[in-house]
Amino acid sequence: MSKIRLLLAAALIVALSAAVVRAKRPQSEGAAETSLDVLLDAIRANRKALVAVNLGLTNDEATTFWPIYDRYQKEINAVSDRLVGVIQDYSDNFGSLSNEKAMKLVDDYLTIEADRVTVKRNYLAEFAKSLPGLKLARFYQIENKMDAVIRYELASTIPVVEEGKSPPAK
């Protein structure tokens, strides 16, 4: 149980560091992208460390697990990068969001979520070759807990679309 608490505490620290980076609000768009890249790199590096600490792999399991995990993370990161793009698009257009643009953003978001589930499902059989069932379930729980903390932090910073607000005339 203490490992789960450690995991959540570390994930929370990572998420809160995102708030600190955003609070500084860089002056230029290039600086904002650089800060986001640094943040994403930090989160990705910490993910692997958190998985390592909390999964308790044997040497044999680690030998087969980590190469699969690295490929899995590469695919998940590509999906996550697309999500960052949708969030950035939403942020850029929040003040003038039309019904059409809102629908496109929702559709893009749902496509990304479906792709995230597809990647997780596609790797299930591969992970099962290197991990026993209980450790495999624990791995997915750890991943989901980290995702939940990060998504909570993201959700707290993304403004909700105001109902009844008409977009500006073109």
Please report the pLDDT score of residue 163 as a whole number.
72
Please report the pLDDT score of residue 22 as a whole number.
43
Encode 60-99: b = buried (16+ Cβ within 10 Å), e = exposed.
eeeeebeeebeebbebbeebbebbbebbeebeeeeeebee
Tell me the pLDDT tens digit for each residue of 21-64.
443 333 445 555 555 566 666 776 788 889 999 999 999 999 99
Mean pLDDT over each residue of the chain, to the nearest integer: 80
Domain residue ranges in the chain: 2-157
Please report the pLDDT score of residue 166 as a whole number.
52
Tell me the pLDDT tens digit for each residue of 53-105.
999 999 999 999 999 999 999 999 999 999 989 988 988 888 888 999 999 99
